[in-house]
Structure 1
Amino acid sequence: MGKKFNHSEIFPSNPMLVCICGSSGSGKTHLTFNMLTTPNLLDFNSLYIYTTTPEQSYYQSLKALEYLPKKDVQDLFHYYEGNEKVEIKDTDNYIEAKNPTDIKVFLTKNVNDLDLTNIDSNRKNLILFDDCVAQRNQAVQQEFFTKGRHHNCHCIYQSKSFYGTDSMFIRKNANCFLLFELND
C-alpha cells in the first residue's frame, strides 16, 4: 500500500469517501474547490477529476496545483474571478514558469479514462466525480468507492440528488456527507 493520507481530523482517513449533495448552484463545486486548495485540509498528490464540464474555471484553475502551492491557486482563482477582463488561460505562461510541485492533476470528461489498474498506488490519489448522478452506468464510480482503497484512492462524489436510485450505491458506501439544500 502507498503512503498514508494525512487529512484534517474533520475527515475520515481510511478511506475517505465523501458524498456532497445539493441542488444546482448550491455551492458544491465552490466548496470542493476550497477544500482542495486549502492547505492542510485534504492530503493528496494525485488529483483525478471526472466532470462533464471541464471548462469550468474551478477545474481549469485546479490544474495550477501542478505548479503552485494550494493557497496560491486559491488566491489566483479569486483574483481572476474579480477581474473579468483577464482570462485564466492568460496565466499559463506564468504558472508553467514555476517549478513543478509534487501534485499531478488529471482532468477528463470521459469516465472510462479512470481505470483503477492504471492508478499509482504509491501516491495519495484523490478522485473527484462531479455531478455524474444522471449517468446510467455508475460502474466506474462504484469500483472506485469499493476497491479504490486498495489502490490508495480516496473519493469525493458530487451530486444534485441524494435519493436518486443511481446514487444509492455511492450513498451506502460513503463515510462522510456534506449536504446543501436539495430539490428532491
Structure 2
Amino acid sequence: MEIISLSKVDKSRLEEAARLLLDGFTASWNDWTECVEEVEESLQNDRISRVAIHENGKVVGWIAGASNYRGNVWDLHPLVVHKDYQGQGIGKALVADFESCVREKGGVTIFLGTDDEDNGTTLFGQELYPDVLGRLQQIKNRNHHPFGFYEKAGFSIVGVLPDANGFGKPDIFMAKRVAKLTK
C-alpha cells in the first residue's frame, strides 16, 4: 500500500475517493454530486487530502483535513476505508500519515468529531443535560463506534455536543497533540 496526495488532475482517484465517501457514510452522504464536491473541496491550499492506494491500484482509503486556529489545529474530516479493506491497518496508516503532514505544516493538534447517530455509544438516546461532562466520563463503546479506533490511535475525548444530530444523537469531540512539547 502507498499513501499519496490526492490531485485535481487525477479524476479517476478523485471519483474513487468520492465513492468511498458515498459507500462509507451512508447516513451522512447519499448524493453523488455532494460527495464529489466534498472531495474537490479537500484539494484547497489550506487542506490535506491523502489516499491509500492498494497494490492493485485501487483507492482503498481517504483522509482529509483543514487548517484552523492559524494553522495550530487541523480538523480531520473525513477518514474512510473501503469496507473490504477495513481491519488491515489502512486507517491507522492514514492517520499516522496525516499526523506527519500536519507536523510538516507546523500544526500542533488534530481535532475531529465522531457522531453517534446509531447507538454506537452509551451516550446515544440519552438526556445528557445538565451533567454533560459527568455523562461523558461514563462513555462506553457499543457496536464498534469509531471513537474506539481513535483512542487506540492516541486521541482523547475532549468534549461532546449533545443532540448535534437530533435528540440523543451527540457529536463526540476528540483531539491529539502531534507536535513535540517544547519548553
- Where is the helix percentage greater, Structure 1 or Structure 2? 1
Q: Which has the higher contact order (CA 8 A, sep 6+)?
A: 1
TM-score above 0.5: no
Q: TM-score, normalised by structure 2?
A: 0.29
| TM-score, with structure 1 as normaliser | 0.29
Normalized per residue, the structure richer in strand is 2
